[in-house]
């Protein structure tokens, strides 16, 4: 079952503490955890968790809208958040009282009909709770006194937020269906690729970035295999505000990644690789999805006998964290090399679901350790007692060892490479967890 996580947006005028509360909610998840270049975090989005509920959090304070006047920017930021969110945290400053800007945001939220939880920030001690009464007049329900700087009241606030989450729903597709999400920056040819795969004009194609306005699921069958292709959208509304906030489409990519088995990271063969490509691909990697890198518009590239190899080398250099992902060069427009794509999708999907028998797995690890003995640190040697696979999608292995801290990054990478080479884990990340023997 694939469940779509709810989205919580933090909205309010500038300098009420939105980013501080954002950091409080997401905790350490904002920090970069991948020790490889190219995996970056956009501080605008992250995941939060409360009472066994996982959700996305949007910090609208991170939206930059150019030279617009402050009040206009604030209104535009709130409009985007209202459009995307399931629940909205409306933040105000308890020490400053209600301002005209607060009232403006409150009116917008009221018209949205979305669930709103009112957070009154900078209520740093119980003696200040009398400040809350004024905020009832905003018509946003009960005000929750919080302190971003001290972390007070966040739990009560989140209790109310999760109470408004929609009921969980899952995609009604057969178990053997491969769900593919196409992600990439605007105008790399995602919609054209969908049409090429389907063999018909099922998705509007345009040269204007951001034409696709919502995630579109389309089912088809090829060679007996059922597929669902999810064409990730730009924004729901047209207009300058959405064009000016291209990175907001990242949230749509996150939702599509979450619902997929295989992610096609689509690059523009004419333009080459830019930083946004790596950022988008990083989300798919972190989500643990199977990945195929697709270089589109290959028909338009001037080529010699070294062009493809040079492009492969550039991808491997820029996307070091996707060293396991196969690369497919094609043209959605002319359908050149298109026939190579779906076999790769099937192959990486099979790798993503592959489960290795425990006895075979332990024999392989014993051979690997004999080839490259475990590392030592301060006279202590890492000892691997036992290995078991605990999950698929992605394949996840638990190594029971004497001292988990002795499992250095370089040796972990060696073990991952051996697993890949032995069992042909192509196109899927592999998770390795080191645990103390007695845990």
Domain positions in the chain are 7-163, 178-352, 358-436
* Helices and strands in the chain, H and E counts: 12, 17
Cβ partners under 8 Å of residue 239, min gap 6: none
- Does the annotation list 123 as a binding residue? yes
- Does the annotation list 60 as a binding residue? yes
- Does the annotation list 74 as a binding residue? no
- Does the annotation list 234 as a binding residue? yes
DSSP 17: S
Pair 387, 400: CB distance under 8 Å: yes
Beta bridge partners of 118: 90, 143
- Does the annotation list 333 as a binding residue? no
- Does the annotation list 15 as a binding residue? yes
Crossing angle, helix 409-423 and helix 358-371, to 10 degrees? Answer: 120
Crossing angle, helix 100-112 and helix 70-84, to 10 degrees? Answer: 30
- Does the annotation list 185 as a binding residue? yes
- Beginning with the edge strand found earlier in the chain, give each strand of the sheet holding 384-391 in spatial order: 384-391, 396-401, 431-436
Pair 205, 188: CB distance under 8 Å: no
Q: Give CATH superfamily name and number for 358-436.
A: K homology (KH) domain (3.30.300.20)
pLDDT recorded at residue 112: 83
- Does the annotation list 402 as a binding residue? no
Pair 178, 261: CB distance under 8 Å: yes
- Does the annotation list 299 as a binding residue? yes
- Does the annotation list 395 as a binding residue? no
Pair 107, 158: CB distance under 8 Å: no
- Does the annotation list 141 as a binding residue? no
177 burial type by CB count under 10 A (0-12 exposed, 13-18 middle, 19+ buried): middle
Which stretches in the chain have pLDDT values below 50?
1-2, 29-43, 204, 207-208, 210-214, 233-245, 247
- Does the annotation list 66 as a binding residue? no
- Does the annotation list 272 as a binding residue? no
pLDDT recorded at residue 203: 54
Helical spans, DSSP H, in 147-202: 154-163, 190-198
333-341 contact pairs (CB < 8 A, 24+): 333/189, 333/192, 333/196, 333/297, 333/299, 334/299, 335/196, 336/298, 336/299, 337/298, 338/196, 338/197, 341/197, 341/264, 341/292, 341/294
- Does the annotation list 159 as a binding residue? no
pLDDT recorded at residue 74: 62
- Does the annotation list 301 as a binding residue? no
Q: State the first-to-last Cα distance of the chain, in angstroms, to the nearest integer.
A: 29
pLDDT recorded at residue 157: 94
pLDDT in tens, 398-429: 999 999 999 999 999 999 999 999 999 999 99
- Does the annotation list 298 as a binding residue? yes
For residue 91, the surrounding DSSP H or E stretch is strand 87-93
- Does the annotation list 12 as a binding residue? yes
Q: CA torsion 100→156→61→111, rounded to 10°?
A: -50
- Does the annotation list 151 as a binding residue? no
- Does the annotation list 375 as a binding residue? no
- Does the annotation list 63 as a binding residue? yes
- Does the annotation list 296 as a binding residue? yes
- Does the annotation list 102 as a binding residue? no
pLDDT recorded at residue 150: 84
- Does the annotation list 240 as a binding residue? no
- Does the annotation list 153 as a binding residue? no
CA atoms within 13 A on the CB side of 262: 30
Q: Which CATH architecture has domain 7-163?
A: 3-Layer(aba) Sandwich (3.40)
The highest-level CATH class for domain 178-352 is alpha beta
- Does the annotation list 187 as a binding residue? yes
- Does the annotation list 383 as a binding residue? no
User: Same CATH fold, 358-436 and 7-163?
Assistant: no
């Amino acid at each position: 079952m694939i469940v779509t996580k709810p989205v919580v947006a933090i909205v309010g005028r500038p300098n009420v503490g939105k980013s501080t509360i954002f950091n409080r909610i997401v905790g350490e998840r904002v920090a970069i955890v991948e020790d490889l270049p190219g995996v970056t975090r956009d501080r605008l989005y992250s995941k939060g968790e409360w009472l066994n509920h996982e959700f996305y959090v949007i910090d609208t304070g991170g939206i930059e809208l150019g030279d617009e006047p402050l009040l206009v920017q604030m209104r535009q930021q709130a409009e985007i958040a209202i459009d995307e969110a399931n629940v909205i945290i409306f933040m105000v400053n308890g020490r400053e009282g209600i301002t005209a800007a607060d009232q403006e945001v409150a009116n917008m939220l009221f018209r949205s009909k979305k669930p709103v939880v009112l957070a009154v920030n900078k209520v740093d001690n119980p003696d200040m709770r009398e400040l809350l009464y004024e905020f009832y007049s905003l018509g946003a329900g009960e005000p929750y006194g919080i302190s971003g700087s001290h972390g007070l009241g966040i739990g009560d606030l989140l209790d109310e937020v999760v109470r408004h989450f929609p009921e969980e729903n899952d995609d009604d597709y057969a178990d053997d269906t491969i769900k593919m999400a196409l992600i990439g920056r605007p105008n790399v040819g995602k919609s054209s690729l969908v049409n090429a795969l389907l063999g018909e004009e099922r998705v509007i194609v345009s040269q204007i970035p951001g034409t696709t306005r919502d995630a579109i699921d389309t089912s088809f069958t090829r060679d007996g295999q059922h597929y669902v292709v999810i064409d990730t959208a730009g924004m729901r509304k047209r207009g300058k505000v959405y064009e000016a906030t291209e990175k907001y489409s990242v949230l749509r990519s996150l939702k599509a990644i979450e619902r997929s088995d295989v992610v096609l990271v689509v690059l523009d063969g004419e333009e080459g690789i830019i930083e946004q490509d790596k950022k988008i691909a990083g989300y798919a990697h972190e989500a643990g999805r199977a990945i195929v890198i697709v270089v589109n518009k290959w028909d338009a590239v001037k080529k010699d006998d070294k062009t493809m190899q040079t492009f492969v080398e550039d991808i491997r250099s820029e996307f070091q964290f996707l060293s396991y992902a196969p690369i497919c060069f094609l043209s959605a427009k002319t359908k050149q090399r298109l026939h190579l794509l779906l076999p790769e999708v099937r192959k990486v999907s099979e790798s993503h679901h592959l489960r290795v028998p425990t006895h075979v797995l332990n024999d392989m690890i014993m051979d690997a350790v004999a080839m490259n003995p475990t590392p030592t640190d301060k006279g202590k040697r890492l000892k691997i007692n036992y290995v078991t696979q605990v999950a698929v999608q992605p394949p996840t292995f638990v190594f029971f060892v004497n001292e988990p801290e002795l499992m250095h990054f370089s040796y972990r990478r060696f073990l991952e490479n051996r697993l890949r080479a032995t069992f042909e884990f192509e196109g899927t990340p592999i998770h390795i967890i080191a645990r103390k023997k007695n845990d």
